Amino acid sequence: MESPKDLSSQEGPMEEEKKELGAGSGGGPETVEHSHFFDGTYSVTANQIEVLSRPPLPPAPPGPNMITILAAGLGVDGKVNVRGSQGVRVTSGPPPLPPTASDSVNGVEIIVSEAQNVTVQRGLIPGVDQKIEMTPGNITIDGGVGTITIQSLTEITLSVAGGLSSITLTPAGITIQGILVQIN
């Protein structure tokens, strides 16, 4: 596989060369952007790769820190593949918690700070499409116009107040426990 350095001599007409780039590239302080375009495969290979967005050094004005990974394609064929042979960890929150890395990741972890939300949504029409949302005070599972199915071959338990009130479904039957049970 050729390195990006080797590919630079093959760059097509999309390459937009900028001279005297700033942002630590040795250019003047007025240049705050660096663009690189390439038609074809651009590969960066290393034992460890880190991409970091940080506040600029003075005198540059601060702006939002952002990293965007986008495979736009033609609008319907862009894909982003993320894989870790042991695990993938996605975190959000003000540093230092939650920590970005964890040696115990075994699968996929999505972790946010206590004040933040986690939302998984299919579709863009509220009340029609499905959504799972975790907020600081609530977890909502919304099936929209679809059906929600929770199933198990052994047992399903719905519980509140540490088990003070619960509904347990097993192949043997349904058990309802609580200080007060009302069935209408």
Examine the domain organization and report whether 73 and 59 are in the same domain: yes
Per-residue pLDDT, 184: 87
Examine the domain organization and report whether 108 and 177 are in the same domain: no
Reported confidence tier of residue 21, pLDDT bands at 50, 70, 90:
very low
Examine the domain organization and report whether 8 and 41 are in the same domain: yes
Asked which of 8-17, 34-43, 110-119, 157-166 is least confident by mean pLDDT, the reply is 8-17
SS3 content of the chain, % helix, strand, coil (to 5): 5, 25, 70
Whole-prediction pTM value? 0.71
Examine the domain organization and report whether 36 and 10 are in the same domain: yes
The values of phi and psi at residue 10, to 5°, are: -105, 5
Is pLDDT at 28 greater than 80 in this prediction? no
Examine the domain organization and report whether 56 and 132 are in the same domain: no
Examine the domain organization and report whether 133 and 177 are in the same domain: no
Domains in the chain, number: 4
Mean pLDDT, range 126-139, rounded to an integer: 93
Is pLDDT at 30 greater than 80 in this prediction? no
Q: Identify the DSSP state of 7.
A: H
Examine the domain organization and report whether 10 and 50 are in the same domain: yes
- Per-residue pLDDT tens over the stretch 72-84: 988 889 999 999 9
**CA dist 120 to 123, 135, 141, 147, 154, Å?**
10, 12, 10, 16, 27
Domain of 175 in residue numbering reads as 151-184
Examine the domain organization and report whether 26 and 88 are in the same domain: no
Examine the domain organization and report whether 161 and 144 are in the same domain: no
Per-residue pLDDT, 18: 47
Higher confidence at residue 120 or residue 14? 120
Examine the domain organization and report whether 77 and 1 are in the same domain: yes
Examine the domain organization and report whether 89 and 66 are in the same domain: no
CB contact at 8 A, 68 and 52 = no
Is pLDDT at 100 greater than 80 in this prediction? yes
Higher confidence at residue 143 or residue 19? 143
